[in-house]
Amino acid sequence: MASSKPIQKLTVALAGNPNSGKTTVFNGLTGARHRVANYPGVTVEKKEGHFRYRDYELNVVDLPGTYSLTAYSTEELVARHFIFEEHPDVVVDVLDASNIERNLYLATQLMEMQVPLVLAFNMSDVAESRGLRFDLKQMEKLLGARIVPMVASKRKGIDELLEAIVETATQEHTNVLTLHYGHEIEEELSKIENLLREHGEVFPEKYPIRWIALKLLEGDTEVRDWIKEAAVCEPVEASREHLKTVLGDNTDILIADRRYGFISGACQETIKDTVQSRHDTSDMIDAVLTNRYLGLPIFAVLMFAVFYSTFKVGKYPMGWLEWFFGWLGAVIYNSWPQDTLLAVRSLVVDGIIGGVGGVVIFLPNILMLFLGIAILEDTGYMARAAFVMDRIMHKIGLHGKSFIPMLIGFGCSVPAIMATRILENRRNRLATMLVIPLMSCGARIAIYTLFVAAFFPDYLQGPMMLLIYFVGIVLAIVCIQILRKTILKGETVPFVMELPPYRMPTLKGLSIHMWDRGWMYLKKAGTVILMISIVLWAAISYPKPAAERLTGLDELQQQSVALQFSVAGHVGKAIEPALKPLGFDWKIGTALIGASMAKEVFVSQLSIIYSLGDSEEGLEALQGHLQEDYTPLQGFCVMLFCLISAPCIATVAIMRRESGAWKWAAFQYFGLTALAYVITLVVYQTGRLFLG
């Protein structure tokens, strides 16, 4: 009985590398039902076959064999023109499964063209004989395309390929995979995309904007010929030069490296039990750095080296800055006319120089930390660190890619929360955003450095810094596991962990990455912290006690009375009973209030408190005051509380924007504060039992 369904016509484009078996697949699909001609205007052979399959009439076009879809050859141009001009219902990319990484390069470019895609893994028998075993279901999720294993020479997989073609053609194409090219390239791509949106008339509408931007950045000659508008061309060239300067290579090479990094990551996660030897330098290094047993210890050693050098090398320029601000405060204090606007002198010396200077002196530590992280990032190691952490992250319900925003969180929570946009699963993204403040941002270095130097000998300072960072990571992992099993319960969506090739960082690139982040810290010191320091100085300085209250007291006693009589003193005294079980007094409490605006203000506040009446005291004297007033256990608990407790106001604001609801920002703010209180309470009270 004839089918009553109407015949549906489907156009299928067959793409693939030369020698991938594409012709064999084409012959297996079409048999003798094909004809040969040339593409219009070019002497490139065009094979086209028509046949009936179920209720579908298929027109299969065999595109020229090519390794990529750039504008370097006629074959490449013909292939991509056909895809964009003829809009085939499905593109089938035939790959040699025994040489999968090289063949997947063309597939990544087809993904970027946002076409309905089926991947035919031909020569699967050869791949299997070489010990390659594919996790096809996982690879399909990672690549966003159906995969059909085939041995076309034996007609194995032909029927399955036809099924996949029909299924892909008749379903809505929504699984569009976007490759991420790293912070610097993505930033320039975003600029070019915005320019193209402003000048939409300069390129054909049928081409995706991101694809056009990518091709312009690669220097694709055909696409560059389309764009004549100087307002687009000049910024594109500026972006290309900027990337070449910062990353040390031409943009087309950088982009190709990132594609191969994506491919390498996908293969690492989906090819199992291989006995195939891979001898290139990058793979040999990865064999050690991403080793199941050595990966984590190596990561720990490298991070310890970063923190140790941050502390040991940074202390010398810190000393220079400390001397400078001490000298500056003394000069202003001693040269100020006696009995003339003494309140203004106090504001300048104690409020501005004491407050802002107390934060700025930690800039060398910030720069050293960011330099260490920049070296690890620019060499390509940070991606390996995320890959190593992937095993742990999978166990707690996340992908290793969630570790990348967490690593950024060591610099600042604000860009780290924004970086969670690379996570497509909302539950994964929310869970990652909620715990990012547990990564010790650069602002906390000032607090850690102050207390570590005050309470611990030289040989323990590096380990203590590493310990506090490690505590944050462990807490983040525990919190994520709890969140993913309770309020954010759900399936984890897989991602490809891109493994970019190792590169020698450029001096200019390292300098830019280090200074950009250091400048954010310095700019905050000159704006937000300056404003808060002035407010806190006023809160500490006013109201003043009556003169008779100070009669008969020495200078230190007068300072103590004045502090307790001020607004800050009253607030600190009011919250002191709640903080006393943690080992904190009203001074620490007042500093914590300031730290809720910006973490660095904690040090600024203490500098203001202890510098009243003595403008020549610096960091060493502040550490001396802390040693007199607190124990090492209390010092550690202060660091612990500042690590875990409520994030700064800027983080709250970005959390609200990225999560889309105030409830998540409030949950993060109050939840972390409560967690900080409970953990610090347990640590302090337990420590007292053992230490007395």
E strands in 201-286: 271-272
Q: What is the pTM of this model?
A: 0.58
pLDDT tens readout for residues 98-118: 888 889 999 999 988 888 999
Q: 303-345: per-residue pLDDT in tens?
A: 778 777 776 787 788 778 878 877 887 888 788 877 667 678 7
Looking at 123, 145, 170, the residue that finishes a domain is 170
Which residues, in sequence order, are CB contacts of 138 under 8 Å at separation 6+?
269, 270, 494
pLDDT tens string 497-548: 666 767 788 787 788 778 877 777 677 666 766 776 777 778 777 888 877 7
Counting residues of the chain whose pLDDT is more than 90, the rounded percentage is 18
Burial of 402 (0-12, 13-18, 19+ CB in 10 A): buried
Calculate the alpha carbon distances from 65 to 80, 94, 286, 513, 675 in Å: 12, 10, 32, 41, 60
CATH code assigned at 51: 3.40.50.300
Are residues 90 and 204 both part of a single domain? no
Give pLDDT, residue 353. 77
Coil, strand, or helix at residue 193?
A: helix
Whether 287 maps to a domain, the answer reads no
Cis peptide before 40 (omega within 30 of 0): no
**Comparing 247 with 355, which gets the higher pLDDT?**
247
Please give the average per-residue pLDDT across 215-219, as a whole number. Answer: 90
Residue finishing a domain among 170, 200, 229 = 170
**Closest to 494 measured CA to CA, from 180, 173, 137, 183:** 137
Q: Contact, 89 vs 169, CB < 8 A?
A: yes
Full DSSP string of 471-539: HHHHHHHHHHHHHHHTTT--PPPP-----PPP-PPPHHHHHHHHHHHHHHHHHHHHTHHHHHHHHHHHH
Task: Please give the tally of structural domains in the chain.
Answer: 3
Give the domain CATH number at 216: 1.10.287.1770
394 and 462 in a single domain? The answer is yes
**Same domain for 525 and 567:** yes
567-581 pLDDT per residue, tens = 877 888 888 899 999
Specify whether 151 is located in the same domain as 81: yes
- Locate 273 and state its tokens: 């039990």
Query: Residue 277: pLDDT above 50?
Result: no
d(CA 500, CA 264) in angstroms, rounded, equals 8
| Burial of residue 596 (number of CB atoms within 10 Å: 0-12, 13-18, 19+) | middle
With helix as H, strand as E and coil as C, how does 83-137 read?
A: HHHHCCCEEEEEEEHHHHHHHHHHHHHHHHCCCCEEEEEECHHHHHHCCCEECHH
Q: Is residue 412 part of a domain?
A: yes
- 110 and 77 in one domain? yes
Note whether 321 and 188 are same-domain residues. no
In the structure, what pLDDT confidence band is assigned to residue 615 with cuts at 50, 70 and 90? very low
Whether residues 197 and 132 share a domain: the answer is: no
Same domain assignment for residues 163 and 97: yes
The Cα-based distances of 608 to 550, 614, 624 in angstroms read: 20, 10, 15
In a domain, 433, yes or no: yes
Looking at per-residue confidence, does 101 or 5 come out higher? 101
Does 494 share its domain with 643?
yes
Give CA separation, 113 vs 142, 199, 211, 257, 656, in Å.
Answer: 17, 21, 6, 18, 34
In the beta sheet, which residues pair with residue 151? Answer: 156
Judge if 189 and 96 occupy the same domain.
Answer: no
Mean of per-residue pLDDT scores for the chain: 81
202 pLDDT tier (thresholds 50, 70, 90): low
As a whole number of angstroms, the distance between CA 578 and CA 641 comes to: 14
User: What is the Cα–Cα distance from 492 to 498, expressed in whole angstroms?
Assistant: 18
pLDDT at 417: 79
Please report whether residue 286 resides in a domain. Answer: no
Q: Would you say residue 285 lies in a domain? A: no
Residue 622 resides in a domain: yes
Asked which of 276, 310, 333 is the last residue of a domain, the reply is: 276
Beta strand pairing call for 146-149 and 117-122: parallel
In this structure, the answer to whether residues 93 and 229 fall within a common structural domain is: no
- 593 or 164, greater pLDDT: 164
Residue 25 domain flag: yes
Give domain status of residue 570, yes or no: yes
Contact of 45 with 36, CB cutoff 8 Å: yes
Range of the structural domain that residue 249 is part of:
183-276
- For helices 458-485 and 295-335, give the axis angle rounded to 10 degrees: 120
Are 213 and 319 within one domain?
no
Q: Which of 106-120, 156-170, 376-390 has the lowest mean pLDDT?
A: 376-390
Give, in order, the Cα–Cα distances in Å from 675 to each of 645, 661, 670: 7, 22, 9
State the pLDDT at residue 239. 92
Give the pLDDT score at 176.
64
